[in-house]
Amino acid sequence: MPRRLIPVCCAPALALLAASAPAPAAAVAPLPGERIAAGVSAGGVDVSGLTVDEAAQRLDGAYGARLKEDVIAQVAGLNFRLTAKRAKATFDPVRTAKRALYAGRGAPPPAPAPGAAAPGIDVPLAAVHDRRAVKRFAARIDRRLARPARDAQLRITLRRVRVVHSAVGRDINAAKLAGDVGAALDDPHLTRVLTPELRTVRPKVTVDELPRTVITIQQSTFTLRLFKNQRVRKTYKVAVGQPQYPTPRGRFAVISKQVNPVWSVPNSPWAGELAGTTVTGGSAANPLKARWIGIANGVGIHGTGEDYSIGTRASHGCIRMHVGDVVALYKRVPVGTPVFIG
């Protein structure tokens, strides 16, 4: 089929025709004396048959005072108040009435079913607020009421182990509260007295989850203490590191356990010809006698064949014990046991 060409001389006429086409009904300003179509309401208030000014007066009478009321949050026995002024909440009844007018200019609603009420159009109210002010209000309540949960923990010193019990915390859902406050500011049908939930925050660690075994090593007195349920159950004499090879200080934990441990000899001058080699467990050349209770960075508790060194600074960083003592300790110390060295 050949294409139909429009003469160039017709283009101005087409532009004039387009310019004279009627604008959408909702885009036309209210006409003098024009009334809102039947079946139209705003925020639930019937404004059908009214002019924009009449509808605005009716809406202002119905909701103007209500939308200026304060919003109150009641929680934990306290009242927190947000005024409409601080929230910058405004209601524009004229704009709302125009919405109703424009909505009524559309196509008429479909015919109702026999015996049913005629369907209508309900437009939202032109009510707005400052969201940032509402968020600040909710955040202020959250800061006032929030209390972090406290985990149970062990307070360990060289001579004493004490339990700090856990405690539940509390919190509110600030984002939800802000949403509820904002909705109440814009909707006169919603309550303006809110009761946000005060949530309980559970601790992650309770007393029942704390270690029941603790080791402390007091280097100044060459004393190892074994605690069970926060009480000293046994004390042992030990040897600690030489001044040039000090035993580290601080809080550690048992990370490994071995019977007749293999000795991976450090590649250090003090190790002599054994430096960098491996000595099998139970060997006469192996200074790690009977048991190994690893702590950190190659440092651990082990038995020694040099009983005379107990009570002195004699090791290269490890904690030495009599063989019988380390065997007894080994049985009572699980992996994960806290170790405090001071």
Strands 71-75, 78-82: pairing is: antiparallel
In the numeric block, which tokens belong to residue 205?
Answer: 């660690």
- Does residue 56 sit within a domain? yes
Which domain range does residue 53 map to? Answer: 35-107+124-147+172-201
**Active-site option among 129, 165, 189, 302:** 302
pLDDT of residue 334: 97
Question: Over pLDDT 90: what percentage of the chain?
Answer: 77
In the predicted structure, residue 84 carries a pLDDT above the cut 60: yes
The residue annotated as part of the active site, out of 129, 189, 318, 322, is 318
**42: which 2 tokens?**
């705003």
12 domain-assigned: no
10 is catalytic: no
Q: What is the CATH number of the domain that holds 221?
A: 2.40.440.10
Asked if residue 223 and residue 241 are part of one domain, the reply reads yes
Residue 282: both structure tokens together: 């139970």
Regarding whether 319 and 250 lie in a shared domain, the answer is yes
Residue 96 in any domain: the answer is: yes
Predicted local distance difference test score (pLDDT) of residue 19:
37
**Range of lowest pLDDT (23-27, 162-166, 210-214):** 23-27
- Mean pLDDT value across the chain: 88
Q: Are residues 309 and 327 in the same domain?
A: yes
Residue 183 lies in a domain: yes
Residues 231 and 92 in one domain: no
Q: Would you say residue 6 has pLDDT above 90?
A: no
Residue 308 lies in a domain: yes
Question: pLDDT at position 286, please?
Answer: 86
Q: pLDDT-derived band of residue 284, with 50, 70 and 90 as boundaries?
A: confident
For residue 113, pLDDT over 60 is answered with: no
Q: What is the DSSP letter of 43?
A: T
Residue 159 covered by a domain: no
At 231-251, the pLDDT tens digits run: 999 999 999 999 999 999 999
Our answer to whether residue 318 is catalytic in this structure is: yes
Backbone phi, then psi, for 26, in 5-degree steps? -70, -15
